[in-house]
Copies of this chain bind each other. A is one copy, B any other.
Amino acid sequence: MRQAGRSLPEYRAIRGSGSILEVIKHPELAAEITLQPVRRYGVDAAILYSDIMVPIFAIGFGVDIAPGIGPVIENPFRSEADLSRLRNINPEQDIPYVLDTIKILSQELKVPLIGFAGAPFTVASYIIEGGPSRNYAKTKSLLHTNPALWNKLLSSLTDISIGFISSQIQAGAQAIQIFDSWAGTLAPSTYHDFVQPFSKKIFSFIKTQGVPSIHFGVGTGELLPLMGQAGPDVMGIDWRIPLSEARNRIGIPCALQGNLDPAICLSDPKIVKNEVENILLSAPKNGHIFNLGHGVLPETNPDILKGIVETVHIFSQKINKDKQ
């Protein structure tokens, strides 16, 4: 339940104002924010309090995260010359605070810690568009009209993501989630030609590290076979597609993660429980991580999330009992 923190009063009490990119420079604080939802909800894993733009920020590309908006880029990527503004990260120098946060969490957590990184397409879309976009017109225009430059940019972002992932695993992250949040805007043929090769390289790298990987995006129904071929162990599924249908469409074996609509969490406990149970019943019997299909909405009542965790735990205990 990503971004579960922002609906918590204890989070708002310690978060302070300012960009997440500044907050995470304080490892004790970032670790505490990571721990809060685990403590309150008893979830089975923690996800690092961080952002996919962290490495881009750390190498000085000029990015901020505007609360309620998302990443905002001062000087968006426009041409060949902008490639020189990107370089591989040197984790100890560029993001020592991320590594320190993970080290604290490795001591404190009794559940696995999930680290994460942005997939090259989604990071590219932010730095090209200059921020969140409705239609990704500039990104698509660049990839179609200048595939040579696109490939250089994505290669560079792939290397940066791999450096970011590698350092998180070395510091103690026990699983990695790759966010290609906005890939769903692409036609399958475009994804295949311009995106899949780079995502594949990332999942191949994670496999060499011996930690499980999760692939995530929204509105990716038509891309599931291609995203599955990129090689994750687990595929994140949003609420637009039933898990059973997603399972069929992916084809190749991998576990599924999802897929409650976060907006359902704004309704009554009874409705939520019913929806959660429907998902659990329709999920593949081997290989399902219950989750929301996207981040927790800030206006969500924490008691609703607590109820969801309880429902899932009761269900999985019953399944395990039946197996014995």
Given that A140-B261, A264-B140 are known contacts, is A187 also in contact with B240, CB under 8 Å in the complex? yes
Contacts of A185 in B (CB 8 A): 240
Check if B239 sits within 8 Å of A271, measured CB to CB: no
CB distance from A238 to the nearest CB of B (A): 9
Q: Mark A262-273, 1 if CB is under 8 A from B, else 0.
A: 111011100100
Check A253 for interface membership: any CB of B closer than 8 A. Answer: no
Q: A246-272 interface mask toward B, CB cutoff 8 Å, 1 = contact, 0 = none? A: 000000000000000111101110010
Judged by a CB distance under 8 angstroms, whether A245 is at the interface is yes
Range, interface on chain A = 20 to 34
How far, in Å, is A105 (CB) from chain B's closest CB? Answer: 29
Q: Can you name the residue of chain B whose Cβ is closest to the Cβ of A266?
A: B141
Interface presence of A144 (CB below 8 A): yes
Is the C-beta of A281 less than 8 angstroms from some C-beta in chain B?
no
- Contact of A263 with B222 in the complex, beta carbons under 8 Å: no
Task: Give chain B residues whose Cβ lies under 8 Å from the Cβ of A135.
Answer: 262-263, 294, 297
Annotate A195-231 by CB proximity to B: 1 below 8 A, 0 otherwise.
0000000000000000000000001011000000000
When distances are taken between beta carbons in the complex, the residues of chain B under 8 Å from A190 are 261
Across the interface, do B219 and A184 meet the contact criterion of CB distance under 8 Å? yes
User: Within 8 Å of chain B (Cβ to Cβ): is A188?
Assistant: yes
Shortest Cβ distance from A244 into chain B, in angstroms? 12
A132-191 at interface with B (beta carbon < 8 Å)? 135-137, 140-141, 144-145, 184-190
The answer to whether B137 touches A299 (Cβ under 8 A) is yes
**Chain A 291-320 near chain B by CB (<8 Å), digits 1 or 0:** 000100101000000000000000000000
Decide yes or no whether A289 CB sits under 8 A from chain B: no
With A187-B240, A221-B222 already in contact, 15 other A-B pairs whose C-beta atoms are closer than 8 Å: A135-B262, A135-B294, A137-B297, A140-B263, A140-B264, A140-B266, A141-B263, A141-B267, A144-B267, A144-B268, A145-B271, A187-B242, A187-B261, A189-B242, A222-B245
Interface residues, chain A, CB within 8 Å of chain B? 135-137, 140-141, 144-145, 184-190, 219, 221-222, 239-242, 245, 261-264, 266-268, 271, 294, 297, 299
